[in-house]
Structure 1
Amino acid sequence: MSITITLIGGPTALIEIDGFRLLTDPTFDAPGDYQLPHVKLEKLTGPALSARDVGDVDAVLLSHDQHSDNLDHSGRDFLKSAKRVLTTQAGAKRLGGQAEGFAPWASTTLKKGGRTLAVTATPARHGPAGIEPLSGDVIGFVVERPKPGRPVYVSGDTTWFDGVAEVARRFDCGVVLPFAGAAQTRGPFHLTMDTNDAIETARAFADAVIVPVHTDGWAHFRQDASDLRASFDTLGFGRRLRILEPGVATVIES
């Protein structure tokens, strides 16, 4: 079975599956700077599609709200018109409105025209062990459609750790979207998956199609899609890697 994914930029992708339209981490601002409490982030490129181009969605899958490279000013505006916003428990309290908070492994069901999708929040760790007091809570998502369709995994901002491995043990995902730009700000460590993490993820999800996002558009990313391509090709995983062209709806067979 197939799904359609349109990369909009950074962590923002439109996932169309069984008649549902899901948007990950909305970022629609033009390039510019964002001063966070501990660091300044610089956005280098704007979105391939505007919020108006995207139109209505059935749900926003928001991995976290506290960092501007995952939810910027225009993204916050987009949330106001979204039918459902699924995010962390802490994020839902901050955002209010229709935001719904989920702890890892909690689930909900999306319904539309007699069809359903199950969405399960998954663990995420936004950097090395012990980073949580600085980075805040983050979740990923598994989206399950009726069989024979296979689940889709959206990692959110995370590195490779036991929580991601547990997702692979619990769900036979056919498509995996790792957030894989090797983000680095204040410390010598990365805050999202680097090429090694992405390879470990591909190994864990043994035959899934790997569709990286969050690899472009920000100054604090240390690796990009070309680094992933080189690593995957060298280690024999290249046939499973799909690099998306921003703004182009791409059909992924799973």
Structure 2
Amino acid sequence: MSTACSHRPTYQSAQFRDGQFHNVAPPKQPGGWRLVKLWWQFMFKDSSRTEPPEALTVTPLTRTQLNQAPDGSIYRLGHSTVLMKLNGKFWMTDPVFSERASPVQWAGPKRFMPTPISLEDLPPLAAVILSHDHFDHLDRDTVVKLAAKTSVFLAPLGVGDHLIGWGIPAEKTQQLDWWQTVEVEGIQFTATPAQHFSGRSLFEKNPTLWASWVIYTGTHRVFFSGDTGYFDGFAEIGRRHGPFDLTLLEAGAYDKQWAGVHMLPEQVMQAHRDLGGDWLLPIHNATFDLAFHSWDEPMEKMLALSAQQGVHLTMPRIGEPVRLGRYQAAQPWWRLKQSRPASTAVTTSPAT
């Protein structure tokens, strides 16, 4: 809960002090001149490996297909945007439909592929679930356009204030601290800890909270990580709310230099085990160029690690359905015929 002050809001939260939000333990991440150097390297890096040489194709979706889809269908729409059909209604995480994950649309990381469905063709949403305020997770244009067809926006503390400032009615926004639970249309949503940071400018330092989410339908438990480094909180979430039928864990845009706030592939596997996860669906990859690794490395590493460690892994094409309780094992859809260069596109058929 926020209260007015002379400069910026204050929040009644154990995570909020000294005018900003804090992690349970300070994560290792670059700062100062190291951060400036990283930004410089990123801006002028060779993108021939970090971007596919041509646009990736997707499995197209229509509103009719979604309305006719069985309950428990889950669609990854790109990056960390996931559309879920649960208990007969639709729910979406971190919606980003803009061409670029950036404060402006003339510069910044550009999508590798279009979204499989337009904003206009989406069905009404019972809720949009937000993890934090970074541009690749909180897209102002998308959120504003979704407001008319979304019943409620669920957000960590402070993130909802962005929405209200953009004209979304306060009564359509619910802001939660870690471990708080709200029920919407019979489904329980619990904001749970994550290890990350926030801010939409270089001059802000953690003005809003970041969170992962537990989604409990009454029959299935789904975990959505948002962005996070690996930390002890996964085991605590698993003890309190696990085991999980499906974990949606970030696996992409990682680097050892910032592993404190974005997990490395091996850490993703450990987090899945800590949570008591059954099936794992990696997200936060194959959409934007946000790191130094090759664009397809996250999928290749997750596929190899799952085989080594015996983890149930599903990695659908963008727009292809995954169904709770009837999962399909991961297939390397991102690979191409031997006659074509690595990392180029493959043509997909419409979802059924």
Relative to the length of structure 1, the TM-score reads 0.83
1:119–1:142 CA contact under 8 A, matched in 2? yes
- Residue 134 of structure 1 deviates from its aligned partner by 5.2
Partner of 1:205: 275
Partner of 1:145: 217
2:227–2:250 CA contact under 8 A, matched in 1? yes
Larger CA deviation: 223-232 vs 18-27: 223-232
Any stretches of 5+ residues in structure 2 without a counterpart?
1-70, 198-203, 327-352
Q: Does 1:27 align with 2:96?
A: yes
Q: Which structure's residues are more often strand, by fraction?
A: 1
AA at the equivalent of 2:180:
A
| Identity over aligned pairs, percent | 24
Q: Distance in 2 between matches of 1:35 and 1:210?
A: 31
Q: Does 1:124 align with 2:191?
A: no
Q: Does 1:232 align with 2:300?
A: no
1:11–1:213 CA contact under 8 A, matched in 2? yes
Change (3 A) 1:193 1:167: same
Q: Distance in 1 between matches of 2:234 and 2:298?
A: 21
Question: Structure 1 runs of 4+ off > 3 angstroms?
Answer: 132-136
- Residue 53 of structure 1 deviates from its aligned partner by 2.9
- Residue 78 of structure 1 deviates from its aligned partner by 3.5
AA at the equivalent of 2:309:
L
Number of residues of Structure 1 aligned to a counterpart in Structure 2: 235
Q: Secondary structure at the match of 1:175?
A: strand
1:27–1:47 CA contact under 8 A, matched in 2? no
Q: Secondary structure at the match of 2:258?
A: coil
AA at the equivalent of 1:228:
M
Partner of 1:3: 72
Q: Distance in 1 between matches of 2:280 and 2:321?
A: 16
Q: Does 1:42 align with 2:91?
A: no
Partner of 1:173: 244
Q: 2:82 aligns with which of 13, 38, 44?
A: 13
Q: Secondary structure at the match of 1:5?
A: strand
2:126–2:152 CA contact under 8 A, matched in 1? yes
Partner of 2:144: 77
Any stretches of 5+ residues in structure 1 without a counterpart?
none
What do you get for the CA RMSD once the two structures are aligned? Answer: 2.5
Relative to the length of structure 2, the TM-score reads 0.61
Partner of 1:217: 287
Partner of 2:322: 250
What do residues 90-109 of structure 1 show as CA deviations (whole Å, max 9, x unaligned)? 11122213221100110111
What do residues 190-245 of structure 1 show as CA deviations (whole Å, max 9, x unaligned)? 332221121102222335111111112111144422221112212222xx110011
